[in-house]
Amino acid sequence: MTETERKRVVIVGAGFGGLAAAKTLGNTPVDVTVVDRRNYHLFQPLLYQVATAGLSPADIAWPIRGILRDRKNILMLMDEVTGVDLDARQVICTEHRLPYDFLILATGARHAYFGHDEWEPHAPGLKQIEDATSIRHRVLLAFERAEMATDPAEQERLLTFVVVGAGPTGVEMAGALAELAHRALARDFRRINPRRARILLVEAGPRVLAAFPEELSQYSCLVLEKLGVEVRLGQPVTACDEHGVEVGNQRTAAGTVIWAAGVRASSAARWLDADADRAGRVKVEPDLSVPGRPEIFVIGDTALVLDDSGRPLPGLAPVAKQQGRHVAELILARLEGRPTRPFRYRHRGNLATIGRNAAVIDFGRIRLKGLLAWWVWGIAHLYFLIGVRAPTLVALQWLWSYLTFGKGARLITGPPPGSSAPQPPEAAPATDKPA
């Protein structure tokens, strides 16, 4: 292929899926442009540790340019995508337009409030670094304000934390909050006893970690309760405001509410005028291309892909990474005239940590729980971290936290304590969320 024949591939989103596609296409005879509104790749599975002061943002995010610096055929642009001109085959950005021969949309998802978007200011979700630092601000400031409060009822409200949704994010968040309050902060205050903090995990379904086998779900529930988390199952949230939540018909006053109950896809379906499900995920062909648009692919949380049993694939990093590699290899195969194949997800297992020395892992026939699962979970996450420096730092942080029950990133940034209640950053449009 000559220089004049080189095809142009545009990848929107530098999350797990987009980055996997870019790395696979690196140093191949195509010109690749990666577009993301942020200049860093984020390791989302550890966001909850930033939100609970276990890690700092720099421990789980890396500059995209640094990751791709050795792929000389890749151009990185920090810009926001607002649409796609299908007829002209151009990606519409804030600053300019990008022509493409192949387009990969890895624009991810954001929080879903099931028709109650007015709850978002009071119950932030956890998708970006800004979300994590905002939640950390709320959590730590709640303890500080409780220390200053003189009304016992107000102290109790401030020391009540509600996590909505008992999937992996909700379970990990609830366990980390319990350890933060009952261990790390236990001796740091004089007027309040952080051990009295209430951590409520609310789930509309019948059990926690519904995607895991029931025995692991039951174990997780028992560990959470041992940590001091109050688990409420089969009870949806029916109201939420700055003073607390309503679960079923029961009102709970709370100083901090964290949303981990659902997501909705980005605006990719609207850009493409494509068929989508209720969550906004684009219904793609077996090879992950858009029906009628074989040059456009949608991957990660933005795509609706069914497994062999007809169920949608989960919004997990391994799914997005495998899809990114598949699409990149398919593009190269097409250009070289080789046969292509449909995407097939290879399930590597589900992992979730509950707290210190406790995790659950489902490898299919092999199921682990407890201390061994916790070590496997930690090793797996360190393995998937990009580079050498970051895993080393995270490993040292985890070791220090394990030995001392400490939390090394307990910084309250943002408005000073005397200002009004902290508000989350303005919600970023779904156009730039990486898969």
The neighbouring-strand residues paired with 34 are: 11, 76
DSSP state of 57: G
In angstroms and rounded to an integer, the radius of gyration of the C-alpha atoms of the chain is: 22
**Residue with the two structure tokens 């709320």:** 138
Q: How far apart are CA 69 and CA 50, in angstroms?
A: 27
End-to-end, the C-alpha distance of the chain in Å comes to 31
Tokens of 4: 């004049």
167 neighbors 209 (Cβ within 8 angstroms): yes
Q: How far apart are CA 220 and CA 201, in angstroms?
A: 12
Tokens of 80: 């926001």
Cβ-count burial 290-317 (b if 16+ within 10 Å, e if not): beebebbbbbbbbbbbeeeeeeebebbb
Active-site positions? 172
Distance of CA 48 to the CA centre of its chain: 9
73: number of Cβ within 10 Å: 17
DSSP state of 182: I
Distance of CA 366 to the CA centre of its chain: 26
**Residues contacting residue 315 through CB under 8 Å, at least 6 positions apart:** 109, 263, 300, 301
The neighbouring-strand residues paired with 99 are: 90
Bridge-based pairing of strands 74-78 and 81-85 is: unpaired
Q: How far apart are CA 209 and CA 408, in angstroms?
A: 28
Q: How far apart are CA 212 and CA 16, in angstroms?
A: 23
Q: How far apart are CA 294 and CA 283, in angstroms?
A: 13
What are the two backbone dihedrals, phi and then psi, of residue 102, each rounded to the nearest 5 degrees?
-130, 140
Q: How far apart are CA 81 and CA 95, in angstroms?
A: 9
Q: How far apart are CA 75 and CA 328, in angstroms?
A: 16
**Residues contacting residue 405 through CB under 8 Å, at least 6 positions apart:** 179, 183, 184, 356
